[in-house]
Amino acid sequence: MLEIDVPFNEIIVRMSGRRVHAASGRTYHVRFNPPKVENEDDITGEPLIQRDDDQEATVEKRLDVYVAQTRPLIEYYNQWSRSDDPLASMRPPRFAAISGLGSVDEIRARVFDALK
C-alpha cells in the first residue's frame, strides 16, 4: 500500500482553484495554470466555470469523509505492515507513505523509490 500524503490545506488550494471551459473540457488553475485572461478560456474567450465538486465547501466535506472512512484503513494497514507475528496466517502488506508535495517528476520519483 502506498499513501501519498498531501496536507489538507494544500488539497483545498489545488482543488478549489480549478476552472473549466465547459464546452471543451480544458482545465486551468487560478494559481498553477491560469488562463491568459482571468476567468476566460484561452482559445475561445468564453467564460470558465468552477465545478460544484471544486467548491471549497465541497472539498472540505470530501476531506471529512476521508478522515472518517479512509484514514482508519490507512492506519490499519500501516500498523499491520509493522506486525512481525510469526504465527499470523497472512504475511503483512508492504506499506509506504510519501509526500505528495512538489512537482510531478519529484512525486513520481518518490513513488518509484517507495515501490522498490
Q: What are the 10-residue block averages of pLDDT along the chain, 116 residues in total?
A: 96 97 98 97 98 96 97 93 76 92 97 95
Q: Look at residue 85 in the predicted model and tell me its pLDDT.
A: 72
Pick the CATH number of 2-115 from 1.10.600.10, 3.40.120.10, 3.90.650.10, 3.40.50.300: 3.40.50.300
| b/e map 49-66, b = 16+ CB within 10 Å | eeeeebeeeebeeebeee
Q: Look at residue 28 in the predicted model and tell me its pLDDT.
A: 98
Q: Look at residue 75 in the predicted model and tell me its pLDDT.
A: 94
Q: Look at residue 87 in the predicted model and tell me its pLDDT.
A: 64
